[in-house]
Structure 1
Amino acid sequence: MQAVYFLPTSTEVEKGQSLDVTVSHDDYSLWFSVFNSSAQPVVERPICQCGAHVVWSRQRFAIMNQVSRNDKFISALKKVVNQSTTCMSISDGSLLPLIAARLGACQFGAKLYVSESHAGDCGANDLSGKVELIPQTAQDLKLEDKEYQIDLLVSEPFFTSGLLPWHSLYFWYCRTALTGHLAEGATILPCGARLRAVAVQFEHLWKFHAPVGDLEGFDVRIFDDLTQRAAKDTDAKEEPHHLWEYPGCPLTSDFDLMQFDFTSCIQTNPSM
């Protein structure tokens, strides 16, 4: 099973240089160290001091550190952000507000608002006073709050409560709730989404829910009974699996299931 692990320290390397890798573990966790041969390995278990590693998964940290992905965000924001742009970001723990502020948003009386979650450490990035954190969710903002006139609404979207791909459509509900706060001709980024799928054949993924029975002389049927009962009380069909973590092969090409237009509000059908 593939996974993402944090390194406790950074190491500068050059092409052709040899490195040593150590792996350590306790009763619950694994951790790795990469170091030069002349340095000492770090064997103490790394403990989060900032709180972010408790809230975000390793996969989320890997995504936030994808240079090519961040470059696309920067390129898109450069086209729509100027010094008179009033911007609102709706995402959990996103770099987008910091990027927008660096590009010049919230200047000359304009503001940059962040709803749903914090915008990272604004003080550490010399952005204190430039980014305003809104304690309410998008649905809780009242239309009479005229100060919130938004020229640019942005989102990754990413929300810590989301488990499945379509949970990110929460952004569409937020955009709909903020309709009265959007300035005429406001820009919505992203402006749409596609739900895509691919048929995949995995190797032994069924073992996730299979009882263990007797293992190396240890009878774990009591634990089997507990997990099997729990599985019956949950919808196993919607359990999320990261495709890159498990050996498998695609059976089809990727294809679109649905498309969504975020520039329009969610349509409601009273008859349903």
Structure 2
Amino acid sequence: TKDWCDHWKHCVWFTQGRGAPVMKDQTLSLRASHNLTSISYQLLNPNDEACNGNLKADHLTLLPERIALYGDICWRSALITAIKSALSDRSPQTCIVADDSIFLALLVSSLSPSSKVIAMFPGLRDKGATYLQAVAKANNFSMDQIQVIGKRAASLSTDDLEHKKINLLVGEPFYCGSEGMLPWQNLRFWNARTLFHSMLSEDALIMPCKGVLKLCAMSLPDLWKSRRSLKDVEGFDHSVVNETLGACGDLPGEQQGPCLPYYVWQCGYTKKLSKVYSLMDFNFSEPIHSCFGKTKIEFADAGMCHGFAVWIDWVLDEKNSIVISTGPDSRYWKQGVQLLSKPVEVNPAESAALVEASFDPASGDITFNSSFS
């Protein structure tokens, strides 16, 4: 990690189907074409015929991390167990999939054939509907019980529900196009639940039941260095980018360092300096509201603290027995990284930190304050 930096990103292109068989010393041709917004590829055989053809209309473009998540048996098993548990005591008539979860729409419809499943798909929209139809055709099951709305929660009306109440409200949560944002942007699920409040039945079940904001102190020398504030570069004043892009180090006054979305495992050298702490709970059984939390961080290892990794653990069931963590131990999700204005040297015997956080439901933002002793 000596020369690590986050400036260089790579493109990964997946061949369709099971890939193309190749032999040693065989020559392959790759054809690239582009439109105004994207580049597409074709793998050609020696006869210049496309091995995999054009993208089908039912093709979904998802990030590699999302594709890997759908292939994770532990993640799938957790959702299957949670949905089965939710359906064990009831047979919901109307289920809303509040986000862009293809998996949950298929899962609920297969486990509860008598239910009407309404998929909001606010990001996927028609593409999500087309993909569901392709999956249904390939697996010989009917799409009659699944209805794709393709709009945001605020646009849902009682007419869409045929004037029935919502018995089951679910989400991963996953919103297509928001994968690169801070993890608490997925709290829009809580906002959707609030917008649906008058349409929920008295015993409606909501999954996930709550979110728990977690954090731990981190040593992140490579990331901190890459985000260090700029001044004069080759005679040009670049200080304007410090606030625009988020910078740390040599900031004016008491200005806090930025909180940025990163895959912590991609941040060069990293080291946890504390155990994981819970900072704030978001209870989805209640309408969305402001939240505040604080915790004292005790350091487990000595080192240079550059900031805190922050994420949300999603509690799927009311017994708190099924939890999906989006923390740095997983490679599927980005965490929020709250960088310090200046690194602080810490040790277990003498150092501690107090971290406070507040959630604003109007903006969906969480602000942090930290102090060391």
The question of a shared fold, defined as TM-score above 0.5 by the shorter chain, is answered with yes
235, 244, 247: which one aligns with 1:233: 244
State the match for 2:156 in structure 1. Answer: 141
State the match for 2:227 in structure 1. Answer: 209
Please give the secondary structure, in 2, of the residue aligned with 1:199: strand
Please give the secondary structure, in 2, of the residue aligned with 1:80: helix
Change (3 A) 1:74 1:154: same
Q: Pairwise mapping of residues 146-157 of structure 1 onto structure 2 (< 5 A)?
A: 147-157=163-173
State the match for 1:242 in structure 2. Answer: 263
State the match for 1:44 in structure 2. Answer: 30
Q: Measure the CA separation in 2 of the matches of 1:124 and 1:254.
A: 42
Q: Measure the CA separation in 2 of the matches of 1:231 and 1:148.
A: 51
Judge conservation of contact 2:213–2:278 (CA < 8 Å) in 1. Answer: yes
Letter in 2 for 1:239: L
4+ long deviations beyond 4 Å: 1-7, 33-43, 143-146
Q: Measure the CA separation in 1 of the matches of 2:273 and 2:20.
A: 37
Q: Measure the CA separation in 2 of the matches of 1:135 and 1:173.
A: 17
107, 113, 116: which one aligns with 1:99: 107
| Structure 1 residues not aligned, in runs of 5+ | 12-32, 213-219
Letter in 1 for 2:224: W
Please give the secondary structure, in 2, of the residue aligned with 1:239: strand
Q: Give 1:139 shift.
A: 1.8
Judge conservation of contact 2:101–2:172 (CA < 8 Å) in 1. Answer: no
CA displacement 1:82-141 (0-9 Å, x = unmatched): 765321101125311011112134x2xx41101124446121222433211114321222
Judge conservation of contact 1:149–1:181 (CA < 8 Å) in 2. Answer: yes
Please give the secondary structure, in 2, of the residue aligned with 1:52: coil
Q: Give 1:44 shift.
A: 2.4
237, 249, 254: which one aligns with 2:276: 254
CA displacement 1:13-46 (0-9 Å, x = unmatched): xxxxxxxxxxxxxxxxxxxx99776695866268
Identity among equivalent positions (%) equals 24
Change (3 A) 1:79 1:245: same
Please give the secondary structure, in 2, of the residue aligned with 1:96: helix
The answer to whether the aligner puts 1:89 opposite 2:104 as a matched pair is no
Please give the secondary structure, in 2, of the residue aligned with 1:158: coil
Letter in 1 for 2:98: I
CA displacement 1:178-220 (0-9 Å, x = unmatched): 01111221110001110101111124213433599xxxxxxx9
- Considering only aligned residues, what root-mean-square deviation do their CA atoms show, in Å? 3.6
Q: Measure the CA separation in 2 of the matches of 1:9 and 1:84.
A: 37
Please give the secondary structure, in 2, of the residue aligned with 1:122: helix
Q: Give 1:77 shift.
A: 1.0
State the match for 1:79 in structure 2. Answer: 85
The answer to whether the aligner puts 1:125 opposite 2:146 as a matched pair is no
Judge conservation of contact 2:101–2:173 (CA < 8 Å) in 1. Answer: no
Task: Give the count of matched residue pairs.
Answer: 235
State the match for 2:307 in structure 1. Answer: none
Change (3 A) 1:45 1:167: farther
Letter in 2 for 1:99: L
| Structure 2 residues not aligned, in runs of 5+ | 33-39, 42-54, 137-141, 248-257, 292-361, 363-373
Q: Measure the CA separation in 2 of the matches of 1:259 and 1:188.
A: 16
State the match for 1:57 in structure 2. Answer: 63
Q: Give 1:229 shift.
A: 3.4
Q: Pairwise mapping of residues 19-38 of structure 1 onto structure 2 (< 5 A)?
A: none
Q: Measure the CA separation in 1 of the matches of 2:27 and 2:277.
A: 46
Q: Measure the CA separation in 2 of the matches of 1:41 and 1:188.
A: 54
State the match for 1:23 in structure 2. Answer: none
Q: More helix per residue: 1 or 2?
A: 1
Judge conservation of contact 2:102–2:132 (CA < 8 Å) in 1. Answer: no
